[in-house]
């Protein structure tokens, strides 16, 4: 049974979509069966893995409105490396239409339930806001991965997100946990970035993943070619960092899975 990981941060420009696409590619490179769900009306994750958002005839919107099955919407992304549930600007109407739906926060969860057995990991790229779309992702998810740029306002935005995650856990999805906090676009030559990084570890301890994603030109260039960095330049520092991140997340998951029977036995 696969797990669902929401990649979320209500602050824009923190490398959320970049992390979603490149983590999907890196996990797939480890022979994992991966589905990337684009839940952002900007459709950047869709474009970033080579699917033209302007040409798609059905999207994740059709799942949320119960107009299509997930299997009919899924497309092959990144040259067949992993699968994609695409999105485009049409998704903006979901916010309004879901408001009157009594199951509005469970639509994505219902749509993905039948797919969990088919994939090792389902990654959800959330929009940069605490919207109904993000709530749907958090209700559907098993864990939340939080990309965070090591800058001045990082901790303030993170607190708001963690409060939302806790509310979802308390009232909608009691199984929801933090996958980890990943530091992105990090420049070790910047004293402020290093200070923020240290503060994150001080406040959140082992929730902060060891892998740090550096600023990297090749990672920034890759989306314009419709490719993850792994397929654009596998030898770049950015690609290597995302491969390391995938390995760290997978090891954590394996450790948690193997510890569960022991915990139940005790």
Q: What is the 3-state secondary structure (H, E, C) of 53-77?
A: CCCCCCCHHHHHCCCCCHHHHCEEE
**Mean confidence (pLDDT) of the chain:** 92
Nearest C-alpha neighbor of 48 from the set 184, 240, 232, 215: 232
> Can you give the pLDDT at residue 261?
56
Give me the residue label for tokens 């949320």.
Answer: 64
Give me the residue label for tokens 């090792």.
Answer: 120
Least confident range of 25-34, 75-84, 125-134: 125-134
How many other C-beta atoms are found inside a 10 Å radius of the C-beta of residue 195?
A: 12
> Can you give the pLDDT at residue 266?
42
Going by their DSSP bridges, the two strands 208-214 and 177-186 should be labelled as parallel
Residue 223 scores a pLDDT above 50: yes
- Count of residues making up the chain: 266
How many other C-beta atoms are found inside a 10 Å radius of the C-beta of residue 226?
A: 18
pLDDT > 90: what percent of the chain?
77
> Can you give the pLDDT at residue 98?
87
8-33: pLDDT as tens digits: 998 888 999 999 999 999 999 999 99
For the chain, which domains are there?
A: 3-258 (3.40.50.300)
Question: Is pLDDT larger for residue 99 or for residue 226?
Answer: 226
Task: Round to whole Å and give the CA distance between 51 and 43.
Answer: 10
> Can you give the pLDDT at residue 236?
97
Question: Is pLDDT larger for residue 209 or for residue 103?
Answer: 209
> Can you give the pLDDT at residue 129?
86
> Can you give the pLDDT at residue 155?
78
When pLDDT is cut at 50, 70 and 90, the band that residue 264 belongs to is very low
Question: Is pLDDT larger for residue 163 or for residue 156?
Answer: 163
Residue 56 scores a pLDDT above 50: yes
Least confident range of 30-34, 45-49, 175-179, 184-188: 184-188
């Amino acid at each position: 049974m696969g797990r669902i990981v929401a990649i979320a941060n209500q602050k824009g420009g923190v490398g959320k979509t970049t992390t979603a696409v490149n983590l999907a590619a890196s996990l797939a490179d480890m022979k994992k069966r991966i589905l990337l769900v684009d839940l952002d009306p900007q459709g950047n994750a869709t474009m970033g893995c080579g699917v033209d958002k302007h040409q798609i005839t059905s999207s994740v919107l059709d799942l949320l409105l119960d107009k299509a099955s997930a299997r009919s919407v899924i497309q092959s992304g990144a040259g067949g490396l992993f699968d994609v549930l695409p999105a485009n600007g049409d998704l903006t109407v979901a916010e309004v239409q879901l408001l009157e739906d009594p199951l509005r926060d469970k639509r994505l969860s219902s749509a993905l339930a039948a797919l969990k057995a088919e994939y090792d990991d389902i990654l959800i790229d959330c929009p940069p806001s605490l919207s109904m779309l993000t709530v749907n992702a958090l209700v559907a998810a098993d864990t939340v991965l939080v990309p965070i740029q090591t800058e001045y306002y990082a901790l303030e935005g993170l607190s708001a997100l963690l409060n939302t995650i806790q509310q979802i856990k308390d009232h909608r999805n009691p199984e929801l946990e933090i996958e980890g906090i990943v530091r992105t676009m990090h420049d070790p030559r910047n004293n402020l970035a290093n200070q923020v990084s240290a503060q994150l570890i001080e406040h959140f301890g082992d929730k902060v993943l060891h892998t740090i994603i550096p600023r990297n030109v090749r990672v920034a260039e890759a989306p314009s070619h419709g490719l993850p960095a792994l397929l654009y330049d596998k030898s770049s520092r950015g690609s290597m960092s995302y491969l390391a991140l995938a390995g760290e997340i997978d090891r954590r998951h394996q450790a948690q899975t193997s510890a569960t029977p022991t915990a139940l036995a005790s």
